[in-house]
Chains A and B, each alone.
Chain A
Amino acid sequence: MIIEIFYNSILSALLLSLVAIGFNLIFNATKVFHLAHGAIYIYAVYGLFYFNFLLVQWLLPVMAAIISILLSLILIVGVILLIEILVYRPLYLKGTNPTISLISSLGVYILLINIITFFYGNESVSINNNFNIVFSNQWFKITESEFVQLIVCGVTLIGVFLFSKSIYYVRIRAIGDNYAVAAKFGINIQKTRLIALVAGSLLVGIAGMIKGYNVAIDPHSGMTVTLAAAVAVIIGGEGSLKGTILACLVIALIENFSILIFSSQWKDTITYILLILVLLFYHKGLISINQRIETR
């Protein structure tokens, strides 16, 4: 029982950490509270579903799957580029504040989600319906989709680790600290913003596709996913990728173990109470980066 809960927590923590790291990168670089992150997540699922549906008539299933994954990644990169060029960049050039960009991001989210519901309706889609068991013993079992999830999340997290050692991540942190100083040191701010947005969106796209492979997704679930990621970023401490991953693990453990005490419908409530407590009493988050007192 305990082992099974622990295993489930790790699975959901891995998935949440991909979304949250993406959110963290974008929030750090652009200071936009990127609610449209959830829309990107939904676009990845629907893109995969739609392209797969089209291609599977012409190609072998494996080929169709691979090509449709690539196509939907291209789709979400296109969407995020459009969002940046049409919405976020003009606001940034105008000199904006977090509240204004939050509202415009909310507008983008509503727009994108309802374009999906206009064409597909409100029904949820799922890509895969088989639950073949890969490995099982007396304590727990791993299904095929969970196996895929473990592998893909692991590889992606290694990719994130390599990315966090690269010059690009240093630049993202630099412009996150101070736009003006970073620009004086020759960092191309527009390009760095783009890199952060694209990297974050790719991460959330991968998370969406894994989730869509696992369970049915309905178009309005994007907001919940983004808010969960935002909770992880705030609890973990902004600007710290390690903190975000740690916070995802903490949230997943608390949510999954709370089932032992409360019924499962109170999961969200517990997470958001945790968020409010962290905001009020432990504002720096779990792992915080030292800052000058006046910038805190």
Chain B
Amino acid sequence: MNWLHIIFVCEIYIILTLSANLVSGYTGLLSFANAAFYGISAYLTALIMKNYGLNYFFVLPIAMFFNVVVSLLITYFSTKLKNLYFIIATIAFQIIIFSVLYNWENVTGGSDGIPDIPKIEILGNTLNSTLDYTILGGIFMVLVMAFFLSFRKTPFIRLLECIRDHELETISLGKNIIYYKFVCISISSAFMAISGSLYAVYNNFIDAKSFTLDESILIVSMILIGGTGNVIGPIFGAVFFVLLPEIIRLFPIETSQGASIQMIIYGLIMILVVRFRPNGLFGKFRFQ
């Protein structure tokens, strides 16, 4: 068992769930388009680094900016659609993005994916080992966590919670909720770009199968089980979901059956959490 690899995957998912939690937990817009942003940034990083040979630390801001531009569409959905219809629109968006990544063969390589993505270079040293990436991912994760921890008591977050709980009242207080939704969705999608680009350079190879609707469902269930609207919940959810397959692997079961058992446990947990603890294990907020 490669513990460094597992820690790296944990770090990626913690960044993803924390940023998804800003939209779903604090603002109450349950979005199933998370894997789309994760995927877009991974592909963008891979394409730019491979074709133009730019340094990773130049590519990352570009990927973040591009994600923000694409997320304008989600902001537009959030202003026009509510609850269930917003969710359906984000599901549709996710499927469209997956389909573009999978089928646009000239650019994304279609089902073959993109192989041979260059590794990160820092001051002439190439990062090769898993340990390097675990440390880099750890630095990013700590930065993102610090951002959210320092962010959680600010007036901005209070306003997002206000939009979540009483949208109409917030409007009547004269707040421009479209602006706040835009900022929150932009921050979230920009942070997802960190995960996506790290994943692409770490793996050396990406294909669209990693960014399906199932991936979005996984991220959403991580948030729901840990609990929405705070920092510890998503972190717990991410760690739990990454470690669960490893725990199952300790038992003597065939690999394919182990995967099924893992999914059965996910399904059961989702049903039970929604039924008996709708706030999640650490959450403050339940979906209205």
- A residues apposed to B, CB below 8 Å: 33, 87, 90-91, 97-100, 102-104, 106-115, 117-118, 121-122, 223, 227, 230-231, 234, 265-266, 268-269, 272-273, 275-276, 279-280, 283
Contact = CB atoms under 8 A, between A and B. Distances in A.
Given A104-B275, A107-B271, A118 B264 contact: yes
A91 B278 CA distance: 11
Contacts of A231: 92
Nearest to A27: B84
B204 interface: no
A40 B275 CA distance: 21
Given A104-B275, A107-B271, A115-B264, 11 more contacts: A33-B87, A97-B83, A99-B87, A103-B224, A107-B274, A110-B264, A112-B267, A117-B260, A269-B95, A276-B89, A279-B88
Interface of B: 30, 76-77, 80-81, 83-85, 87-89, 91-93, 95-96, 99-100, 102-103, 213, 217, 220-221, 224, 256-257, 259-261, 263-264, 266-271, 274-275, 278, 286-288
What DSSP secondary structure best describes chain A's contact surface?
helix
Contacts of B256: 117, 121-122
B38 to A, nearest CB: 19
B222 to A, nearest CB: 13
Contacts of A99: 30, 83-84, 87, 287-288
A275 B92 contact: yes
B212 to A, nearest CB: 10
A38 to B, nearest CB: 12
A110 B84 contact: no
A291 B144 CA distance: 47
Contacts of A114: 260-261, 263-264, 267
22 contacts: A33-B84, A87-B275, A97-B83, A97-B287, A97-B288, A99-B83, A99-B87, A100-B274, A100-B278, A103-B224, A106-B221, A110-B264, A110-B267, A114-B264, A118-B257, A122-B256, A223-B213, A231-B92, A269-B96, A276-B96, A280-B77, A280-B80
Contacts of A113: 263
Contacts of B30: 99
Given A98-B84, A223-B213, A280-B77, A272 B96 contact: yes
A269 B103 contact: yes
- Chain A to chain B: the 8 pairs with minimum beta-carbon distance, closest first: A107-B270, A111-B267, A110-B267, A118-B260, A114-B263, A107-B271, A272-B92, A99-B287
Contacts of A107: 266-271, 274
A240 B278 CA distance: 32
Contact of B271 (A97, A108, A115): A108
A110 B274 contact: no
B287 to A, nearest CB: 4
Contact of A230 (B80, B88, B224, B257): B88
Contacts of B213: 223
A277 B222 CA distance: 30
Nearest to A268: B99
A223 B32 CA distance: 14
A90 B285 CA distance: 20
A228 B278 CA distance: 29
Nearest to B100: A269
Contacts of A87: 271, 275
Contacts of A102: 84, 87
B99, B100, B274, B288 interface centre (most CB from chain A within 10 Å): B274
Contacts of B260: 114-115, 117-118
Nearest to B275: A90
A266 B264 contact: no
Given A102-B87, A114-B264, A266 B103 contact: yes
A272 B95 contact: yes
Contacts of B99: 265-266, 268-269, 272
A273 B96 contact: yes
Nearest to B274: A104
A100 B286 contact: yes
Contact of B89 (A90, A100, A279): A279
B131 to A, nearest CB: 34
B114 to A, nearest CB: 18
A65 to B, nearest CB: 29
A87 B84 CA distance: 19
Contacts of A227: 91, 95
A33 to B, nearest CB: 6
B102 to A, nearest CB: 8
A33 B89 CA distance: 13
A109 B267 contact: yes
Nearest to A275: B92
Contact of A103 (B88, B264, B274): B274
Given A269-B99, A272-B96, A106 B88 contact: no
Contacts of A98: 83-84
A276 B257 CA distance: 37
Given A97-B288, A99-B87, A279-B85, A111 B271 contact: yes
